[in-house]
Amino acid sequence: MSEGERQPASGRWKTYAAVTAAVTGAAALGSWAVAPDTRWYRSLSKPPWQPPARLFGVVWTPLYASVACAGGRALLAARPQERGALVVSLGANLAVNTAWNWMFFRMRSTKAGLVGTVLLDVSNAELIARAAKADRTAALALVPYAAWCGFATLLNADLARRNRR
């Protein structure tokens, strides 16, 4: 029986609610910076394989939901001595995720965005490793998020290469 299964339902609910609030806050703060209709963004040379802008919201919504579910599950399953590090790992991941939008769109920098996506990839690997120690299912639920972020890194790298100005 995992640690989370021994907690009363109210404790599990509070954990999931807190993680969901953190993920939702990060998503909202990050989306506030996104500005695909600016002259700067429209002027960028984009690769033909870039998905249409409307697809990003469609993809990110279930990815954020999976991060919230996986984060809550991993925290509930983590041993007490590992829980704090997992909270820091998840929080850092959400901060870097949010920061990318500001680095790319608000700074109007494909290079800063590339730094942000690489940092997010590193953070994803670390988060998945920590989650796996607590709960393999939670770690596996984070893989699509990490894969999409890896795709975003490739896209951002191509944007930086195409727009060296």
Cβ atoms 31, 103 nearer than 8 A: no
Residues 60, 76: Cα–Cα separation, whole Å: 24
Instruction: Report pTM.
Output: 0.91
Q: What is the pLDDT along the chain (165 residues), one digit of tens a residue?
A: 444 445 666 689 999 999 999 999 999 999 999 999 999 999 999 999 999 988 988 999 999 999 999 999 999 999 999 999 999 999 999 999 999 999 999 999 999 999 999 999 999 999 999 999 999 999 999 999 999 999 999 999 999 999 997
Dihedral angle of Cα 158, 122, 26, 19, to the nearest 10 degrees: 150
Residues 133, 86: Cα–Cα separation, whole Å: 10
pLDDT of residue 11: 80
Cβ atoms 59, 148 nearer than 8 A: yes
Residues 92, 74: Cα–Cα separation, whole Å: 16
Residue that has been written with the tokens 């590339």 in this structure: 114
